[in-house]
């Protein structure tokens, strides 16, 4: 008797059709709905420079507390050459969600935030929500903002 006898073949072919369908496939004519694409948001930052109209302002936009606190790579960034009291830059490619912004005014052009021996910044710094340094850097809850298609402009005041 062959391995594929007619009886075995009949039994093998009697597997319900539903069992052969991939998981998540629509049943009984139901149509699958495509997930709406997540909109990509470009965040416009308006930086108000109060004192020093020289150097650059370097901005990091962080998408979670851990990366903000650890100073890891931001979700987005921009660099603004300062020559006036109001400057703008665009942080592109963000998704709707919670972010925190920190910026510093690089007065000496070395690309890093200068600090004194006590770890206190000697160059101007700024944060979203206009959060202030009060014996410590602002925590996530003080500076977090929500970015979505209706909220795409943020003001940063520095110096």
> With bands split at pLDDT 50, 70 and 90, how would you rate the model's confidence at 21?
very low
pLDDT beyond 70 at 1: no
Please report the pLDDT score of residue 15 as a whole number. Answer: 44
The full DSSP string for 127-158 is: EGGG---SSSPPPHHHH-EEEBTTB-EEEEEE
More confident residue, 29 or 102: 102
Mean of all residue pLDDT scores within the chain: 84
- Residues 6 or more apart from 94 whose CB is under 8 A from it? 40, 41, 42, 43, 61, 63, 75, 76, 147
Structural domains of the chain in order of their starting residue, each with its CATH number: 40-158 (2.60.40)
The pLDDT of residue 159 is: 85
pLDDT in tens, 86-128: 999 999 999 999 999 999 999 999 999 999 999 889 999 999 9
Per-residue confidence band for 38, with pLDDT thresholds at 50, 70 and 90: confident
| Best CA proximity match to 103, nearest among 153, 65, 138, 66 | 138
Closest CA to 83 of 49, 129, 106: 49
16-45 average pLDDT score: 62
| 127 within 8 A of 138, measured Cβ to Cβ | yes
Structure token digits, residue 143: 């500076």
pLDDT of 19 reads 42
User: What is the largest distance, in Å, between two alpha-carbon atoms of the chain?
Assistant: 95
| Distance from C-alpha of 80 to C-alpha of 65, rounded to nearest angstrom | 24
Residue 95's pLDDT is 95
- The proportion of the chain whose per-residue pLDDT surpasses 90, expressed as a percent, equals 69
pLDDT beyond 70 at 2: no
Residue with tokens 């979670």, as numbered in its chain: 64
pLDDT of residue 33: 62
Chain-centroid distance of CA 98 in Å reads 8
Higher pLDDT, 32 or 22: 32
What 3-state DSSP class applies to 76?
Answer: strand
């Amino acid at each position: 008797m062959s391995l594929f006898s007619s009886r075995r073949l009949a039994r093998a072919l009697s597997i319900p059709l539903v069992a052969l369908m991939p998981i998540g496939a629509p049943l009984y004519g139901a149509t699958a709905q495509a997930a709406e694409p997540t909109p990509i948001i470009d965040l416009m930052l308006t930086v108000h420079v109060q004192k020093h109209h020289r150097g650059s302002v370097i901005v990091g936009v962080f998408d979670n507390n851990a990366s903000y606190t650890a100073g890891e790579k931001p979700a987005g960034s921009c660099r603004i050459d300062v020559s006036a009291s109001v400057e703008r830059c665009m942080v592109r490619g963000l998704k709707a969600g919670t972010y925190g912004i920190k910026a510093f005014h690089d007065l000496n052009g070395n690309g890093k935030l200068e600090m004194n021996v006590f770890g206190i910044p000697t160059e101007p710094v700024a944060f979203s929500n206009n959060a202030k340094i009060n014996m410590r850097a602002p925590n996530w809850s003080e500076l977090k903002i929500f970015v979505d298609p209706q909220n795409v402009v943020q003001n940063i005041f520095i110096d």
